[in-house]
Amino acid sequence: MHYMNIYNQWIEDNYFDEETKSELKSIADDEKEIQERFYKELEFGTGGLRGIIGAGTNRMNKYTVRKATQGLANYILLKETDNNKKAVAIAYDSRRFSKEFAEEAALVLNGNGIKTYLFKELAPTPELSFAVRYLGCTAGIVITASHNPPEYNGYKVYWSDGGQVPPPFDEEIIKEVMKVTDFSQVKVKDKGKAKEEGLFNIIDEEIHDAYIKEVKAQSINGDIVKKIADDFTIVFTPLHGTGNKPVMRVLKEIGFKNVFVVPQQENPDSNFSTVSYPNPEDPKAFDLAIKLAKEKNADIIIGTDPDADRVGVLVRDEKGEYSVLTGNMTGVLLAEYILSAKKSKGILPRNGAIIKTIVTTKMADAVAKEYDITLFEVLTGFKFIGKKIKEFEETGEHEYLFGFEESYGSLAGTYARDKDAVVSAMLACELAAVYKDKGMTLYEGLQELYKKYGYYKESLNSITLKGIEGQEKIKSLLTSIRNNPPSEIAGMNVLEIRDYEEQVAKNLTTKETRKMELPKSNVLYFVLEDEAWFCIRPSGTEPKVKIYFGVKGTSEEEADKKLAGLVDSVMNNIIK
């Protein structure tokens, strides 16, 4: 059906409320905007929904949420035969309409006879992952757009192991969602009746207390925290999101005394009014935190994104200024800390393993080798790390120790199956305290790791390409590079090209190819000489193409120079 016909249908059909119709009538003279909103359905991808909030089939609104939930309900009824397990835990963050969308999802599930457990207030994504496991649910939903700009919201689906839905379940759910072609197929239960029938339930403090207990159990050196607590200061910002209560509680309960939250960013705010982009990957998000840290002479600054699954860390550098650690830096510091601490205590398992994504620093490989620990590499997306944890539990071949990705996400422990900024913030502060007890800063600790393993440096460039034209440009760019790959870049030969879409790796020296075991994904990875590499992939959550870079040097200066040369060469010669 033509997008104008669908637009008119939404205005005329009594199914849609007057507020929706009013919004749509206001764009009656803007055909391009109508096209953007109605030229397709908001795509239910392998992680769920994510899009701009507004009326239309290609927008996040209660109708698209209902439709997606009906598809999920159909899948649950198809897969789960035990009525006692037909249950879904639902959480939401501080974004616009998050609570409303969460309740809409619950009532659709209730309309299909599926029990729901809705958090009574906003909660971190990792706590939802924990709740799914704790309550024995078939699935979980969290309403969030993570660190996207304020105009976005989203809908992420989790499965019974607490991880984001992995293959092949993700594709099967997508098929069920696509079968819901008309809103008349959506079943919605009256809230009052759903409560009476025991279908609509509110999660109480028991879940939160149990989650906090599991997070605190990952602390390794609580004695040192208590030892230096009087002289150690933390500044924390939840960036208007869900992290404030759990992070502050955990830090206090493991022994930290001087923790100051940035007052302007303490409370939930769907507009994220103090930042242009509520993302701990963006140094500008920490302007207020740095100001407070200077006043308090803080040892460390930590910040969590709106759904508290990513954490940013800042520490004092050699000049006394607060320096932003990348996700790779934080991840490597925590990996080294966990492995070295367990080894010194004699509890490092022989079959231990750490997991990272394909675009995460190669320094993790060196750390794993140092401690004789197996390192596993997975596709981008923490759900693949979660899937590996499940495999370890089922086979017993390895014991999970730590997993992280370059995009500021990590997890210690197996109580959840998604990245957890609460536990990562706790461990980062604990590690900084351990270094302070040695008379060092966390920054100096990082420099020690560089001297030990080599100067690994990484970078990420993103190109935003919005709308219909943007999607075509991203597709065209990847196709062009795939058909005409470089054999040399920045003075370095390309040794191997890994095409994850074709699941083939080609050695350019021997001309041999090998089959790759990881799932299909539209990713191109180039292995260069001298342990350098770069990788290109479309974002799974934003209208962007992402280009990742990595090098290794014998000094920081050399590594920085190599990285700058690689970035410049790729962006000017490959990304056109």
Nearest Cα residue to 339 out of 375, 287, 310, 390: 375
Residue 147's φ and ψ, nearest 5 degrees, are -105, 15
Task: Look at residue 575 and give its three-state secondary structure.
Answer: coil
Helix and strand element counts for the chain (H, E): 19, 23
- Distance, in Å, from the CA atom of 357 to the CA atom of 378, rounded to the nearest integer, reads 5
CA distances, 479 to each of 472, 500, 522 (Å): 11, 13, 10
Q: If you compute the radius of gyration of the chain from its CA atoms, what whole number of angstroms results?
A: 24
End-to-end CA distance of the chain: 35
CA distances, 280 to each of 26, 50, 229, 283, 309 (Å): 36, 19, 25, 7, 11
> Edge to edge, what strands does the sheet with 311-316 contain?
258-261, 233-237, 300-304, 311-316, 322-325
Task: Look at residue 199 and give its three-state secondary structure.
Answer: coil
Residue 335 contacts residue 415 (beta carbons within 8 Å): no
Q: Which residue has the tokens 């050699």?
A: 318
As a residue count, the chain comes to 576
Q: Which residue has the tokens 């957890």?
A: 420
- DSSP assignment string, 35-85: HHHHSSPPP-BTTEEEEEBSSSTTSBSHHHHHHHHHHHHHHHHHH---GGG
Q: Catalytic residue among 94, 98, 146, 160, which? A: 146
- Distance, in Å, from the CA atom of 355 to the CA atom of 365, rounded to the nearest integer, reads 10
- Distance, in Å, from the CA atom of 435 to the CA atom of 430, rounded to the nearest integer, reads 9
Residue 295 contacts residue 241 (beta carbons within 8 Å): no
Cross-strand partners of 543 = none
Task: Work out the number of other CB atoms within 10 angstroms of the CB of residue 239.
Answer: 32
Angle between helix 467-483 and helix 31-38 axes, rounded to 10 deg: 60
Considering Cα of 487, then 493, then 495, then 498, what sign does the dihedral take? negative
Tell me 360's DSSP state: S
Residue 254 contacts residue 286 (beta carbons within 8 Å): no
User: Is 26 among the residues known to form the active site?
Assistant: no
Which amino acid is it at 31?
A: E
Nearest Cα residue to 463 out of 575, 534, 544: 544
Write out the catalytic residue numbers. 146
